[in-house]
Structure 1
Amino acid sequence: MGQEYALTCEAIDIVLSDSPPKAKRLLLGDVLRRMLGADVFASFVCDSSGPYADPVQLDLGDDALRAYHRHFRHVDDLTPKLFARGSASRVSPAVGVSAEFVQDFLHRGGMYHGMNYFPANAGPGSVDLRLWRGRGGRAFTEADARVFRSFGDLVSRTWPRQAPSGQKPLSSREAQVAELVADGYSDKQIAAVLGIAPPTLRTHLSNAFAKTGAANRAALAAHHLRHRQK
């Protein structure tokens, strides 16, 4: 009980401190890992496309973050579901599930039992908290989720919304691709209209995803319609 009380006090002090936002997320993540027996911590800031900007991590690895940004977030159908719940959610994706995100990202990174917090009023600038246990760990309990939720709610109430990192403008070709995606064209049709090879199109799409923070073609289309480039 003494250690749990000390960690609780330490976490509250961090949440209420004047430390820089990224430093506070990392310090809080370290305490939450110790408090809840987790192996991996990550935290993102929500941007116009969802919870994908300005990541920080403990024992996940920068290479894994880069891989997530470049590819895996575009096949990640788990995070949007948890984000929509607006609370602390427990999840243990099953071993043997063929989903690319689970097998090639989560399990390969040693993430088998997770607990993700997204605020109920999530929007651009809001902060999430994510904890994971490895294959040998046990699933998080509802009691764990209550503790995690209490700190997530405290963060949501007391931290000002962060401004996500600025997004680079699309090149003229990337903007053309985004416009055709928004118009409902298939990859084959876009390549034919623009007179480019499929690998070149995939490069333009990947760059457009990265610059806009879009998780998929639908999000890229929505971004283009909101920020139509002239």
Structure 2
Amino acid sequence: MMATTHALFGVVLATATATVAPEFAPVAFVAGVVGSVFPDLDLYAGHRRTLHFPVYYAVAALPAVALAVVSPVAETVALALFLAGAAAHSLMDVFGGGLELKPWRAESDRAVYDHYRGRWVAPRRWIRYDGAPEDLLVAGFFAAPALVVWTGPPRTFVAAVLLVSAGYALARKPLAALVERLVPALPSALRSRLPERFRATADRTPPAQTGD
């Protein structure tokens, strides 16, 4: 799924929290969004493995949520929303495509790494790839309640994220084609810093033929 879809799910968590405890609306909004995008900070270092924990985040979120219910202060609410968002992100990625530049080809069997079981979880492909039309539909579904409930900067943020989602969905496949052309031309030192699926593009590109 798109990072923006995950961010909007964080807004859903914040909206639910603000409905029952409006005094925590600001901290819930920030913590929900940050937690929901946090796992993707591993994009350049073992994507969907280094910071994705589909089991451990969920296990940690349960007592955190319970603590926030029993002792609702800004810190406990923020921790609960952060962990719930990170757990949801790690689980939601299982429903998408695999780790590949063009996931619509369904060539990868890796969606998210399960540290508890020590293996990769296969992608379900209910959402075929990040930026797919169904991914944008889910993003819109997540955004709709927030556009009604929130006002001011939060509503502007949600609208902007939804707009970015639409732009990315339109550009997703052309961007992949552009990467295939550009990455092989980069210096090897720079290529080594790119995500693995980008480096794999260069590795599959045959060397140019030269005459004698």
Q: How high is the TM-score relative to the length of structure 1?
A: 0.29
Q: How high is the TM-score relative to the length of structure 2?
A: 0.31
Structure (1 or 2) with the greater strand fraction: 1
Structure (1 or 2) with the greater helix fraction: 2
